[in-house]
């Protein structure tokens, strides 16, 4: 598996588990109201390994350019490359580690739009994620929910964008006092 820089503790992404297995957010929960249109967050550091690229491809995307160096050399990629779906999974891992670690009150997502793989991801790359909050609104039918639209852009170590998507995020609104 690739590695996530800065990961410490005994739970994914450096989170600490307290009594009863709960995640320790450092006392700061973040609700829908703590985010705003135009906000940009930059986070994550995911080291892509050859072993993980091949293992993912074997399981989910067994195309020659994701599995074999010689076959990949004969393609547009020029060398072994990660599946785009693997890149999306690595971005998801960075986002969950970041937002769970920050106490975001996420309630999941109904989906993504406009997923684009812009540049190949190769073993040896280090990825990071940037999110821009595009739109914020309260659910018309469930007022305890906030709905956010975000643009995710994944960059490699050269600050080249390798993937972009727009996601809809459901979030818990701050409880009334």
Is the pLDDT at 83 greater than 90? The verdict is: yes
| Residue 87, pLDDT score | 98
What does DSSP assign to residue 19? G
Q: Is 77 helix (H, G, I), strand (E, B) or coil?
A: coil
**In this model, does residue 177 exceed pLDDT 80?**
no
Report which of 123, 150, 106, 107 is spatially closest to residue 3, judged by C-alpha positions.
123
Which residues on adjacent β-strands are paired with residue 151?
132, 166
- Read off the DSSP letter of residue 104: B
- 40's CB contacts (< 8 A; 6+ apart) are 130, 131, 132, 133
Please, what are the domains in the chain? 29-51+88-172 (3.10.129.10)
How many residues does this entry show for the chain?
A: 177
Is 9 a residue whose pLDDT tops 80?
no
pLDDT digits (tens, 9 = 90+) for 84-103: 999 999 999 999 999 988 89
Query: What's the whole-number average pLDDT of the chain?
Result: 88
pLDDT (tens digit per residue) in 30-75? 999 999 999 999 999 999 999 999 999 999 999 999 999 999 999 9
């Amino acid at each position: 598996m690739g590695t996530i820089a800065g990961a410490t503790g005994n739970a994914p992404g450096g989170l600490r588990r307290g009594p009863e297995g709960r995640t320790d957010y450092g006392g700061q929960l973040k609700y829908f109201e703590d985010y705003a249109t135009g906000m940009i967050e930059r986070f994550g550091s995911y080291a892509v390994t050859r072993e993980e690229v091949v293992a993912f491809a074997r399981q989910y995307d067994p195309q020659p350019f994701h599995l074999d160096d010689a076959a990949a050399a004969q393609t547009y990629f020029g060398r072994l490359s990660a599946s785009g779906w693997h890149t999306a999974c690595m971005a998801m891992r960075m986002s969950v580690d970041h937002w769970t670690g920050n106490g975001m009150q996420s309630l999941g997502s109904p989906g993504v739009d406009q997923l684009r793989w812009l540049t190949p991801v190769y073993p040896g790359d280090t990825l990071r994620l940037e999110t821009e909050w595009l739109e914020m609104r309260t659910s018309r039918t469930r007022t305890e929910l906030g709905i956010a639209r975000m643009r995710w852009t994944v960059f490699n170590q050269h600050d080249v964008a390798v993937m972009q998507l727009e996601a809809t995020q459901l979030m818990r609104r701050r409880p009334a006092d």
